Structure 1
Amino acid sequence: MTNEHVKMSQKPNKKWYLRCLPVLVLLLLSSVIYYLFYDRLLSYTGTLESLSSIQSPCSDLLTQKNWERLNINISRQTKLFLKMEDFFWREPTSKFALPYGTKGSELMLLKILSKTTNYQMPANIEGLQCKTCAVIGNGFTIKNSSLGSTINNYDVVIRMNGAPVRGYEDDVGNKTTMTLFYPESASHDTVQQMEPSALVVLVPFKQQDLRWLKEILYNEKRNMKGFWKPPPQIWSADDSNIRVLDPHFLQQTADRLLHIPLDFTKQESVHPTMGILAVFVALNYCDVVHVAGFGYPQSNNPNDPIHYYEDVHTMKSMKNSHHDLKREAATLKRLKDSGAILYLHPHL
């Protein structure tokens, strides 16, 4: 074959590569754009489909950078609950008293923890390489959402303040991994509202909260002094399901996440709501954090209800609360915009 024939046979190959080059470039650019913006697109869809419809919620795209996105300069802590070892074989390290530390409460906590004895999350959850979590607030926004079956698909479902489940399953689901509460937010049927395996996690704000739990555990005479609202005197929970949240999480929520003063003794002081605390707990423990039931009505009507399960508490009742709702709303928006959390429904 002559050189001229060889050159002629090579020309079509060169043209074939040139014709394919734009297609290859387009495919490459499409892949990069999909990889970079897929989680951002999810956060702006307003309504997420059920968890099972998300092909890989634990992919690197959705999980690995959640904590880094917070940019709050603290280490992630996945051990959520106080344990006996915290008060025995090492010097107490807490420099804060309740609600931001254990200083001055060590003896009371020893009595409580010696009775409860279990300080871990359930073993079937602890063993998961990736944990998907839903934090379910008590806000009116979740009413008529039909999110129940979606919520039940998460590995961990966190609730708070004794919010009822029975009768509201279509909207809030019926799965509960743990519920955060303090004595005044508990009700006598809090435990009956949940599955037998659900953890009931005390968030102690004051010495009286620990005293209340100790009296429940040891069946002692109840002392109702020091509460702004009488807590239940009869409250049945399996000792093995009771936990005490490490005050570290409330302290870090206030200091690093919300940037509010830690001087809890002042009458005008503010502290985090249980909802924003639950979100911060989830961000520490979980790999994927989705939320629902957050947000307050934006209308000027003071009679707008704030809970999905009753209309007694309205926006008017929130005026005198020790919470900075605007600050928390801005923080939740920052978390959403960064991709650290995703909303399960349109929110206010």
Structure 2
Amino acid sequence: MGDVADKAAILISNYSRDHPVFLQLSDYFWVKNQTVYGLPYGTNGSEYLLMTFLALTNSYHVPPEIERGRLACRRCVVVGSGYRLRNSSLGEVINKYDIVIRLNNAPVHKYEKDVGNKTTMRFFYPESAHFNQHLDNNPDTLMVLVPYKPMDIVWMKIILNDEKRVRKGFWKMPPIIWEADLRNFRILNPYYMEVAGTKMLNPGQDSKKRIRVKPTTGMLAITFALHFCDLVHIAGFGYPASTNKNQSIHYYNKATLKNMGVKAHSINGEAEIIKKFIRHKLIQNLTYF
């Protein structure tokens, strides 16, 4: 049995596994779990919009492999997009985990030897949805929307309903043609973003103040895994030194730190948190950090 819950309770203040993984109508989350924050840290102000979206997907159940209580020990790996995965030959190892969580538009096709080809969940937001639904996911992969802003939910509803596309409100144009299966789409509970943004990156955060730093999707996925899994491993995390402007940051392209907008994120802060978790054996790193 993994001991993530026991260790996480020591390192994360007010740690709890009592929150739903995904938003769903039956929870009436905006009544039972009122939040002071708006998206991406809470649902304040977006209740009606979320209700219209959840009405589309509410009839679909969570797949058995991620249903709570289904496995005696849920072994998870969060697969990052980092250069460290290139030529790692970790594909077969990654495929053996019960839950494989991938991030944004990180591809699988043509990189199977290094990253595997099993995807249980993919965390994404509209601007990061430029991936091949068939080649980079499995037919039963859960597509988990991380809503950073109300327009993200609007975009997802438009895609699922095949409505007239909206081209404004995004920092980068998301796909306008996208094959989507209603059965596979969920919205991640913003609770995990709040934990990452307050209890990890800004410990002691006053709930009345605006959260200063947005966690990366990778930090969010690790936070989620620590609340959901019994064993948490990571692979492909970490950036080159800030002085190294020419080193690729991804295993699948030649983008460097110069190409990445890091101003909204605390890259160094996240690195320290991950190192702390590794040091305390809360998580294990399959690559180097």
Does the TM-score normalized on the shorter chain lie above 0.5? yes
Among 54, 58, 61, the alignment partner of 1:117 is 58
Among 94, 109, 119, the alignment partner of 2:35 is 94
For structure 2, which runs of at least 5 residues remain unmatched after alignment?
Answer: none
Query: What is aligned with 1:81?
Result: 22
Instruction: Give the 3 Å change call, closer, same or farther, for CA 188–161 of structure 1 in structure 2.
Output: closer
Alignment of 1:1-348 (within 5 A): 58=1, 62-63=3-4, 65-77=6-18, 79-87=20-28, 90=31, 93-118=34-59, 120-126=61-67, 127-187=70-130, 189-190=132-133, 192-259=135-202, 263=210, 269-298=212-241, 300-311=243-254, 313-318=255-260, 320-347=262-289
Cα displacement (A) at 1:85: 2.1
Question: How many residues end up aligned between the 2 structures?
Answer: 283
Question: What amino acid maps onto 1:334 in structure 2?
Answer: K
Cα displacement (A) at 1:88: 7.7
Instruction: Give the 3 Å change call, closer, same or farther, for CA 92–67 of structure 1 in structure 2.
Output: closer
State how far apart, in whole Å, the 1-side matches of 2:175 and 2:261 are: 26
Instruction: Give the 3 Å change call, closer, same or farther, for CA 74–302 of structure 1 in structure 2.
Output: same
Question: What amino acid maps onto 2:75 in structure 1?
Answer: T
State how far apart, in whole Å, the 2-side matches of 1:191 and 1:344 are: 27
Q: Is the 8 A contact 2:5 2:226 kept in 1?
A: no
Cα displacement (A) at 1:154: 0.3
Q: Deviations over 1:162-214 (max 9, x none)?
A: 21001000000000000000000001524541100000000001111011011
Q: Deviations over 1:35-83 (max 9, x none)?
A: xxxxxxxxxxxxxxxxxxxxxxx36xx5563323424232124631000
Q: Is the 8 A contact 1:188 1:234 kept in 2?
A: no
For structure 1, which runs of at least 5 residues remain unmatched after alignment?
Answer: 1-57
Q: Deviations over 1:229-282 (max 9, x none)?
A: 000011112101100001111011110011176625xxxx42100001000100
Instruction: Give the 3 Å change call, closer, same or farther, for CA 104–299 of structure 1 in structure 2.
Output: closer
Give TM-score, length-normalised by structure 1.
0.76
Runs of 4 or more above 6 Å deviation: none
Instruction: Give the 3 Å change call, closer, same or farther, for CA 344–78 of structure 1 in structure 2.
Output: farther
State how far apart, in whole Å, the 2-side matches of 1:156 and 1:78 are: 19
State how far apart, in whole Å, the 2-side matches of 1:300 and 1:253 are: 27
Return the index of the structure with the highest Cα Rg.
1
Q: Secondary structure at the match of 1:316?
A: helix
Give TM-score, length-normalised by structure 2.
0.91
Q: Is the 8 A contact 1:272 1:324 kept in 2?
A: yes
Structure number with higher helix proportion: 1
Instruction: Give the 3 Å change call, closer, same or farther, for CA 71–92 of structure 1 in structure 2.
Output: closer
Q: Is the 8 A contact 2:124 2:146 kept in 1?
A: yes
Mean CA deviation greater in 123-132 or 170-179: 123-132
